A and B are shown apart, each in its own frame.
Chain A
Amino acid sequence: MTSPYTGPLERIDNYHWRIPSHFMDSMRVDGMIYANDKLIDSIRHDNALQQVANVATLPGIVKYSFAMPDIHWGYGFSIGGMAATDIEQGGVISPGGVGYDINCGVRLLRTNILEKDITPRLKEIVYGLYHNVPAGVGAKGDIRVSKKEQEKILTQGAKWALSKGLATESDIEYTEENGAMEGANPDAVSDRAHERGRKQSGTLGSGNHFIEIQAVDEIYDENAADVFGILKDQVVVMIHSGSRGLGYQICDDYAKKMVHTLLKYDINVPDRQLACVPFNSDEGRLYFGAMKCAANYAWNNRQCLMHLVRQTFENVFEQSSQALGISLIYDLAHNIAKLEEHIVDGSKKSLCVHRKGATRAFGPGNTALPQRYQQIGQPVIIPGDMGTGSYLLLGTQTAMDETFGTTCHGAGRRLSRKAASRDYTPAQVKKELDKKGIVLMAAGKSTITEEAPGAYKDIDDVVDAVNGAGISKKVCRFRPLGVLKG
């Protein structure tokens, strides 16, 4: 099923590689890959680069079909890619460019707790999370809502959680889009998608979704760390989850519809999963409206999960979450499409920016950011595998100039789930984590092997590549202490 990429790949410098547009007649732009010499061989190993070339055929695409260093094979679009289309020039929107798990994303919480103070209670906290947070296949949340109430979640996003006492004003301020994209259209969401979403608010999901307790391991940018309220050995919590079944169903519904409208818009795609419509079309508007619903649902979901984390910490430490200093540093999406203005060939353009397994990384001075962060740039949260580490980075002006404000999203898989399950046993993985003092609870047994640290690329290499290319700047590194997997 996986076959290595055998097409042309030109090395430009230490961090940039290009797929020239003459590789395929239908390519409208070059492919541009951000990587380093250590990663480029493994990037060639599956067919992700062919997908980068395929994406370059989309109508209205501008500048490049982008790939980040954590790229791997996906559906239509690879995971770890970005493509922006000019909506005034027939640029398209594609559900494949967002992904099934719309607004899969990550949030980072800080605390006033130090590692030495959490160590005696680490098991209690992880077990507490395991019991309090619905996780794994078929898990249902405790937040049950009517269809009418769910429509409020789809339009209000994390602000719904605020209205129910499950969030603070500060949580909303430090969430991308303040927790909700405007213009969400619940009428564009099928009954089936509504049904899938209703039982799953406040659930973690499974697979690579997690809640991880970490300690600040190393600080690279003291000034930025100070702005974020970060100290060495401080405990932070990372939450990785998305829009659950609702997002999946919306993607499926619209991908199916768009396969049948390709002829109507005279669009040829090399892969059915690249099915798309002009952004400025009825179908495009409907999908974007539905996508925003899923995005808002996911922000509300991560807010509800944060509430459960707060409750768990309060129970174990017998102090309020305010006293424990549990607050949100930032929450961001890494599977989403946004309408953004960027400079292309010297002119300001309205672009539909698809980030699939890629993170927004706006630089200093951007008014889309919370006021306190505007001077330094947007926090970029990069989760690694459960045995190694994660990073906090900053968006940069270089990202704005080169990649429409985009960077990587995580470590990216190296091994297939089958290969990981073949190469590792649950006991081996647990032993490896035990040696490092990492407490693991997983809702699914197969998750332990499929999510083994060795199944992922080296996060340090991925971050070094984006840092070296200048599209993100390192702030600090975290090491894992305890993890709940779905």
Chain B
Amino acid sequence: MAFYQLLEHTADLGIRVSEKDLESIFINSARAMSDLIADLSTIKPVIPVKIKVQAQDRDELLKNWLSELLYHFHVKEMLFSKFDIEIFDDKVISSIATGEKVCDTRHSFKNDIKAVTFHALNIHRTGNQLSTDIVFDV
């Protein structure tokens, strides 16, 4: 079952993630970002990395956390497929992201995500689910 939906956006990449709770929104947003960069199924969860981030609200927290994961891709050459997280008061996230170093032979790059934007990022309740759109600059 698809854990994210690709949206129409003229210049860049937009996704929609809908889940039952906040932690799942965060985890599947991160998995979606990894899947947009390289096929998620090819990323082995072997190296754990601790990442802690804070923000003023949960939208900013999601953006900042995804940006931190993206930094690890661009600078540390890490791709992640597994995420264990704890969110405190919608303002702090303590996480362990598990993945591996980029491997040119096994990871086929799909998109060069350069930034996570605030555009359309708004975690809100629709019915019994939480949902948000996220636009990535490519």
Residues of A within 8 A of B (CB): 1-2, 46, 72-76, 79, 100-101, 136-138, 192, 195-196, 205-207, 245, 248-249, 251-252, 255-256, 259-260, 271-273, 413-419, 444, 446, 486
Contact = CB atoms under 8 A, between A and B. Distances in A.
A252 B60 CA distance: 12
Contact of A75 (B13, B109, B111, B118): B118
Interface in B102-136: 102, 104, 109-112, 114-120, 133, 135
A76 B60 CA distance: 16
B11 A79 contact: yes
A75 B117 contact: yes
A192 B74 CA distance: 10
Contacts of B67: 252
18 contacts: A1-B14, A75-B137, A100-B115, A136-B112, A138-B112, A196-B75, A205-B112, A248-B114, A248-B115, A260-B56, A273-B117, A273-B118, A417-B9, A419-B8, A444-B109, A444-B112, A446-B111, A486-B112
Contacts of B11: 72-74, 79, 413, 416
Interface secondary structure of B, over-half rule: loop
Contacts of A207: 112, 138
A2 B115 contact: no
Contact of A137 (B6, B14, B37, B60): B37
A137 B14 CA distance: 18
Contacts, number: 94
Nearest to B133: A1
Interface string B1-36: 000001111111110000000000000000000000
Interface residues on B, range: 35 or more
B42 to A, nearest CB: 14
A71 to B, nearest CB: 10
B112 A418 contact: no
A100 B10 contact: no
Given A2-B8, A273-B117, A415-B10, 7 more contacts: A1-B120, A73-B9, A192-B71, A248-B115, A416-B11, A444-B110, A446-B111
Contacts of A195: 75
B70 to A, nearest CB: 9
Contacts of A249: 71
Given A75-B119, A248-B137, A137 B112 contact: yes
Contacts of B137: 75, 100, 248
B74 A416 contact: no
A167 B121 CA distance: 43
B109 A137 contact: yes
A252 B10 contact: no
B6 A418 contact: yes
A446 B38 CA distance: 12
Interface centre among A73, A75, A137, A271 (most CB of B within 10 A): A137
A444 to B, nearest CB: 6
Nearest to A253: B67
Contacts of B133: 1
A419 B13 CA distance: 11
Nearest to A194: B75
The 9 A-B pairs of least Cβ separation, nearest first, read A137-B109, A206-B112, A137-B112, A1-B7, A416-B8, A248-B114, A72-B10, A272-B118, A195-B75
Contacts of B6: 418
Contacts of B117: 75, 273
A252 B9 contact: no
Nearest to A414: B10
A245 B74 contact: yes
Contacts of B75: 192, 195-196
B71 to A, nearest CB: 6
B8 A418 contact: yes
A418 B109 contact: no
Nearest to B14: A1
A408 to B, nearest CB: 15
A66 B85 CA distance: 44
Nearest to A45: B10
Contacts of A413: 10-11
Interface centre among B8, B10, B37, B104 (most CB of A within 10 A): B10
A271 B135 CA distance: 14
A41 to B, nearest CB: 15
Nearest to A99: B137
